[in-house]
Amino acid sequence: MKKIVCMGSVNMDLVMFAESIPIPGQTLVTDNFQTFPGGKGGNQAVAASKLGADVTYFTKLGTDSFSEELTAVMSSSGVNMDRNIQLKGGTAGIAMIMVDKNGQNSILFTPGANAQLTPQDVLSNKEVFEECDILLITLEINVDTAYEAIKLAKSLGKTVVLDPAPVPQKPIPKEIARSVDFVKPNETEAKSITNIDVVDYESGELALKALVDYGFASPMISMGKMGVLTIDQNVVKRLPVVDLKPVDTTAAGDVFLGGFVAALSKGWAFLDAIEFAQTAAAISVTRKGAQSSIPNLDEVNQLYKKSKK
């Protein structure tokens, strides 16, 4: 089995569930408040580990109680946290999340120590990348640091999987796009990169082709209830969603990518890896929280086999 290194944000999610998400100037009252370990990178790493992959995490954490808790929780999920850099006096990232009755969410995020991971930190820890086979990375850290990691991984012959969220204000360099083996934007992120408003399959196909023209070899666009659009051997493929009733969609994209790289690490074919990832994501949206919503391998295997019949 191939080894995975994950990079991105690790933070504590402070979540309120309510009938609706307040509009500007509005105050709503709810007594439904919970805390969950989160961060896109952390969620993806835990998902990949729980789905059977060998995962190491590389980031910078603080010395506060949230950082300690996040390290302990991710370690208990099987993620190797020994490679992380500790920033004395630093804090973990924090995400303030509001979730409405339909499972839709609104998020305000501060990265904490995650933002202090530098390109030099990447270069000074080259062995982290030498020891892995797959890099899964999100842009929820300093983009120059992410780009340095992508370039280093590619120079070492590694497979690079990019979550382009949040899409940087400046265009992603085409050198970086050409260094990415797989990229998975959602509809909004695809629009930010391509300037194509993705609202249906037809516009999604246009965005896919624009991503390929930009330099991304194997783009996947996640389109919510419409499933995933991708290109395999120059043919556009529509992979329908596994239809389960959503409760909280916060970590769906992260669970998808964790499942996708877990399947890749076991030698699964591209389209099969997507379907496995969709199955994992479908289960996760039926549960509250980010890392707490991630299913285990047996659950995903059972539903995946059932969906293939």
Q: Please identify which of the residues 197, 243, 254, 272 carries the catalytic annotation.
A: 254
pLDDT of residue 300: 95
What would be the CATH architecture of the domain defined by 3-7+39-60+117-308? Answer: 3-Layer(aba) Sandwich (3.40)
Interior CA angle at 12 toward 43 and 290, to 5°?
35
- Regions of the chain with pLDDT less than 70: 309
CA distances from 112 to 93, 167, 187, 278 (A): 4, 19, 28, 31
pLDDT of residue 191: 97
pLDDT of residue 104: 87
- Take residue 249 and report the two structure tokens written for it: 């969609």
pTM: 0.90
- Take residue 54 and report the two structure tokens written for it: 């060998």
Q: What residue segments make up the domains of the chain, in order of their start? A: 3-7+39-60+117-308
pLDDT digits (tens, 9 = 90+) for 82-110: 999 999 999 999 888 899 988 888 888 88
Active site residue 254: yes
DSSP 23: P
SS3 content of the chain, % helix, strand, coil (to 5): 40, 20, 35
Among residues 140, 9, 6, the alpha carbon closest in space to that of 83 is found at 6
Residues of the chain with pLDDT > 70: what percent? 100
d(CA 190, CA 185): 5
- Take residue 38 and report the two structure tokens written for it: 């989160």
pLDDT of residue 71: 95
CA distances from 245 to 21, 160, 238, 251 (A): 20, 32, 21, 15
d(CA 143, CA 140): 8
